[in-house]
A and B are shown apart, each in its own frame.
Chain A
Amino acid sequence: MSTSRMSLTLGPVLYNWPIARWIEFYNRIADEAPVDRVCLGEAICSKRQPFLDEVILGTVDRLERGGKEVVYSTLALPTTKREVRDIDAMIEAGYLIEANDITTVHLLAGRPHIVGPFVNVYNEEALALHVKLGATRVCLPPELPLASIGIMAAGNDAVEVFAFGRPPLALSARCYHARSHGVPKDACQFVCEQDSDGMDVFTLDGAPFLSVNGVQTQGFVVTSATREVAELREAGVASLRLSPQSCDMVRVATIFRHLLDGHMTQKEAAEALGVLALPGPLSDGFLRGLPGCTAELD
């Protein structure tokens, strides 16, 4: 059994939060959250980026003073020249980068980096290739079951698993937030700011189904790997990713840290997460090889 300490990564805020709230969120993370590294930066929509650019240096400084390793997350679906140029500028600035598209892996040209959950790494050979290309940590796509994770995590310390938050499911050139509000993408008025956990999507008979975050589609459920932590540790998984929702993320990080350190049982951790203001039911469907929408059963 592996005895190495599993670390915690806070993924980037994927939603369009008002900038004051964004700063406040990271300040609190810097001061209070027991996470080892923090990803920040815009991964979903480049139109949101200018707001972050103005304040990001201050936030990076604050997080580093709080003892966190800081990672700069990059766009998951860059298509324009300007988007690619902006990614390149962040690489040149010397940040530790999280690549969320092969474009960024190419621009990194072998420099050490992190691979985020938007890159298709589905097997041990693809993982080894990314490590050879400079990846020091790879957050696996959320649909991978424990069986695959176990094979991939063996014999390396590069594997990170998406352990909390609404699962990222799809990306598009089209903005569904804008479409839903009847405004063109180029004049979207940032309507996505209205939904701090994404816009809930229901079936015609009212069943909760998905969540929309601009050009991204997420699951309605909230991933939770509390029940699988022991198996993930056993398999050699190096870190768990906690993806920010609007609930108390300091509390979420504390619960996972307590669970990893043996200060909380799996049942206590699940109960503690369950009382938070979550946007959907907890789910470990993907990890168990079931449909990702499957809610956790007691």
Chain B
Amino acid sequence: MTRTPELVCPAGTPAGLRTAVDAGAHSVYCGYRDETNARNFPGLNFDRAEMREAAAYTHDHGAKILVALNTFMRAGAADIWKRGVDDAVAAGADALILADIALIDYARKTHPRQRLHLSVQAAAATPEAIVFYRDRFGIARVVLPRVLTVEEIARLTAQAAPCETEVFVFGGLCVMAEGRCMLSSYATGKSPNMTGVCSPPSHVSYREDDGVLAASVGGFTVERFEKGEPAGYPTLCKGRFTARGTASHLFEDPVSLNAVELLPRLAEIGVAAFKIEGRQRGRAYISTVVQAFRRAVDALGAGGRIDFGELRALTEGGRETVGAYKKAWR
């Protein structure tokens, strides 16, 4: 009998959090409005009072709240991150999602009973790496980097126990090993690891010549859209570049992750939680996606059949991939 996996859903704003909880999220993840979390965009995230209210709302509805403090502490400024840990614990966070080894060490020592998750930004991709964090710091769950195949995830999940594994199943896809990518830092000076942003809007510009819309990040053209072609957001690793004289989506096509077809197998191998990416997404999207995935995990838990058609339709119009979960992607 497969245990019902926990559905972990994004909450970019207080309103988005209530939407996700109402739509059936088992847990929501969110962060403070500063550089301590990896989605540090203007208009997103929670101040201290909002976080306390969010925790109360989540708990009142029988769900859990996971607070992400998953950037790397700036030298000389560790207090900003530590205060975040202390405040999240005080607010009633069910777990903290951390990446920096020193912040993990602080959280464990200062709050010995607090549940800690290892962020995908720590990129623990082997049983040895997971055991390192589990045995030294009592990490209860590790969010796996999107560089692994399903069979590698099975091996990891077995060896990580009693530490749980959580995998991304839907939403944006990092092509690079998470937490180990400085492309944005190289092009814009703003870095996922240090500032909590990737290809930030502040450094994106568009210009039109001859009916062609060119999108740039940090002054580097990463995509050109013909007239009438929908202009997507220019993310560095999903742009078109020229190598060996040929232009192509060298790193990855502008696709998003949709691992719906793998849900039964992931549940079978004991993955504890399925994660949906997208703290920057709107409430309507969150509501639709969360409801659909909740029905799917409920069906899984009850031994019933998943309505794959409904989940596939979520990315209709957009392009999707199962990414590294299948070996051929590599």
Q: Say whether B194 faces chain A, with CB atoms less than 8 Å apart.
A: yes
Complex A-B: 7 CB contacts under 8 Å? A81-B155, A84-B127, A173-B324, A180-B246, A181-B244, A205-B214, A291-B187
Stretch in B15-23, B56-64, B99-107, B273-281 touching the partner: B99-107
Residue-wise, chain A 116-152 has the 8 Å CB interface mask toward B (1 for contact) of 0010101111101110000000000111100111011
Is chain B's interface secondary structure helix, strand, loop, or mixed overall? mixed
If A79-B148, A148-B75 are given as contacts, then 20 extra A-B residue pairs at C-beta distance below 8 Å, sorted by A number, are A78-B126, A79-B152, A84-B126, A102-B122, A102-B128, A102-B129, A103-B126, A103-B128, A103-B132, A120-B99, A122-B75, A122-B100, A148-B76, A169-B181, A170-B181, A173-B177, A176-B250, A203-B220, A204-B214, A207-B221
The residues of B that contact A118 with a CB separation of less than 8 Å are 180
Contact (Cβ within 8 A) A170 B243: no
Q: Say whether A252 faces chain B, with CB atoms less than 8 Å apart.
A: no
Contact (Cβ within 8 A) A203 B242: yes
The residues of B that contact A174 with a CB separation of less than 8 Å are 175, 251-252, 324, 329-330
CB distance from B187 to the nearest CB of A (A): 6
Residue from B126, B193, B329 in contact with A120 in the complex, judged by beta carbons closer than 8 Å: B193
Contact (Cβ within 8 A) A101 B185: no
Give Cα distance in the complex from A217 to B252, angstroms.
Answer: 13
The residues of A that contact B188 with a CB separation of less than 8 Å are 291
How many residue pairs at the A-B interface have CB separations less than 8 Å?
209
Give Cα distance in the complex from A209 to B324, angstroms.
Answer: 25
The residues of B that contact A81 with a CB separation of less than 8 Å are 155
Q: A202-B242, A292-B185 are in contact. Are A143 and B193 (CB under 8 A)?
A: yes
Contact (Cβ within 8 A) A123 B180: no
Contact (Cβ within 8 A) A180 B248: yes
Contact (Cβ within 8 A) A199 B244: yes
CB distance from A124 to the nearest CB of B (A): 6
Q: Say whether A251 faces chain B, with CB atoms less than 8 Å apart.
A: no
Contact (Cβ within 8 A) A291 B186: yes
Give Cα distance in the complex from A107 to B155, angstroms.
Answer: 18
| Residue total for A at the interface (Cβ-Cβ under 8 A) | 69
The residues of A that contact B67 with a CB separation of less than 8 Å are none
CB distance from A247 to the nearest CB of B (A): 21
Contact (Cβ within 8 A) A142 B182: yes
Q: Say whether A52 faces chain B, with CB atoms less than 8 Å apart.
A: no
Q: Say whether A40 faces chain B, with CB atoms less than 8 Å apart.
A: no
Contact (Cβ within 8 A) A167 B126: no
The residues of B that contact A204 with a CB separation of less than 8 Å are 214, 221, 223-224, 240-242, 247
Contact (Cβ within 8 A) A173 B243: no
CB distance from B238 to the nearest CB of A (A): 13
Contact (Cβ within 8 A) B183 A169: yes
Contact (Cβ within 8 A) B222 A203: yes
Residue-wise, chain B 232-245 has the 8 Å CB interface mask toward A (1 for contact) of 00000100111110
The residues of B that contact A123 with a CB separation of less than 8 Å are 72-78, 100, 102
The residues of A that contact B73 with a CB separation of less than 8 Å are 122-123, 125-126
Seen from chain B, the residues whose Cβ lies within 8 Å of a Cβ on chain A are 72-78, 99-102, 105-106, 122, 124-129, 131-133, 147-148, 152, 155, 175-177, 179-183, 185-189, 191, 193-194, 214, 218, 220-224, 237, 240-244, 246-248, 250-252, 324, 327-330
The residues of A that contact B237 with a CB separation of less than 8 Å are 170
The residues of A that contact B250 with a CB separation of less than 8 Å are 176, 179-180, 201, 212
Q: Say whether A5 faces chain B, with CB atoms less than 8 Å apart.
A: no
CB distance from B234 to the nearest CB of A (A): 11
Q: A122-B193, A203-B241, A212-B250 are in contact. Are A172 and B147 (CB under 8 A)?
A: yes
Q: Say whether A210 faces chain B, with CB atoms less than 8 Å apart.
A: yes
The residues of B that contact A147 with a CB separation of less than 8 Å are 75-76
Contact (Cβ within 8 A) A210 B241: yes
CB distance from A77 to the nearest CB of B (A): 6
Contact (Cβ within 8 A) A77 B75: no
| Minimal Cβ-Cβ distance residue in B for A205 | B221
Residue from B133, B175, B327 in contact with A172 in the complex, judged by beta carbons closer than 8 Å: B175
CB distance from A167 to the nearest CB of B (A): 7
Contact (Cβ within 8 A) A173 B220: no
Give Cα distance in the complex from A35 to B251, angstroms.
Answer: 36
Q: A101-B129, A124-B76 are in contact. Are A175 and B330 (CB under 8 A)?
A: yes
Q: Say whether A50 faces chain B, with CB atoms less than 8 Å apart.
A: no
The residues of B that contact A165 with a CB separation of less than 8 Å are none
Q: Say whether A86 faces chain B, with CB atoms less than 8 Å apart.
A: no
CB distance from B192 to the nearest CB of A (A): 10
Q: Say whether A185 faces chain B, with CB atoms less than 8 Å apart.
A: yes
Contact (Cβ within 8 A) B328 A184: yes
CB distance from A243 to the nearest CB of B (A): 15
Sorted nearest first, the 4 A-B pairs with minimum C-beta distance are A125-B102, A173-B147, A122-B72, A292-B186
CB distance from B159 to the nearest CB of A (A): 10
Contact (Cβ within 8 A) A209 B241: yes
Q: Say whether A286 faces chain B, with CB atoms less than 8 Å apart.
A: yes
Give Cα distance in the complex from A180 to B249, angstroms.
Answer: 9
Q: Say whether A206 faces chain B, with CB atoms less than 8 Å apart.
A: yes
**Which one of B77, B106, B240, B243 has the highest number of Cβ atoms from chain A below 10 Å of its Cβ?**
B243
| Minimal Cβ-Cβ distance residue in A for B222 | A203
Residue from A79, A130, A199 in contact with B125 in the complex, judged by beta carbons closer than 8 Å: A79
The residues of A that contact B125 with a CB separation of less than 8 Å are 77-79, 101, 103
The residues of B that contact A173 with a CB separation of less than 8 Å are 147-148, 177, 324, 329-330
The residues of B that contact A78 with a CB separation of less than 8 Å are 125-126
